[in-house]
Structure 1
Amino acid sequence: IQLLLNKGANIDCTTTDDGRTPLYQAALCKSTKAVRMLLDLGANPNLGKTSNGFTPLHWAAEKDSPEIIQLIVNNGAKIDCITTDDGRTPLYQAALCKSTKAVRMLLDLGANPNLGKTSNGFTPLHWAAEKDSPEIIQLIVNNGAKIDC
């Protein structure tokens, strides 16, 4: 990575097909060392939104990567960012994918459990219930989720 940057590569360059940045790809592939290095070298954690609005943080949540979540949020990522296609937050995505460690980390870092309501009315709590995830249900409720939403 450093060699490419030394040769003039743009750390926040995006693909033309879907707007992915190197940080987005590193988060998608659970490459913790690459995420750390890119952030240390100045990568913008809020870039890389794809056509559906997924960010590096959404992928870290889906892939159950708490260390990457913490790195990205500690470097300025918006923890409650929403997708453009249906209003999903990283916490919503983590609950949908049964990513318990990611749910815990996002809540510890201040994610709002009541955001992420989609067009069908689902919230992170709805998905935790549908996916039969009692630990995630407990985490979300203990962090202030509205049960009767």
Structure 2
Amino acid sequence: MSYRKNGYIALLTAVILTAILTATAFAVGTSTFLARSDVLEHQQYLQAQHYARSCVYVALYALAKDYSYQPETAGAVVSLSPHTTCVIHSVHRGSTEVLIRTSAKIHRTRSTIEARATATSTAAVPILTSWKELYSI
């Protein structure tokens, strides 16, 4: 009788160890996948931020060419590459300060930048003084 009982214990031990190893492999695989997802999302955030800043420079260039530059009502869509665009939402001019609001979206990540520059109608090139990120999603 004890021979059969020992075989049962060995079989049960093998099943339990297999379940533990499978659960461990699943947990490690899931955490690795989620870590890769976080890294990818952070990289997309940085890309969106850089593209929004690129749109600020496009708006500054447009202001240098024509001080009365104003984007369309829905925002000027700027194509940075075949699959990448950013939007110049608004350009508000004061007496010496210009406020530019742009955004860019990479997959699910959006970055919106508000930049301030000093410029007058007689200045050849607007000078960027500051920028800040308004919100990211």
Q: Same fold (TM over 0.5)?
A: no
TM-score by length of 2: 0.25
Greater relative contact order (Cα 8 A, min sep 6): structure 1 or 2? 2
Q: Which has the higher strand share?
A: 2
> Radius of gyration: which is bigger?
2
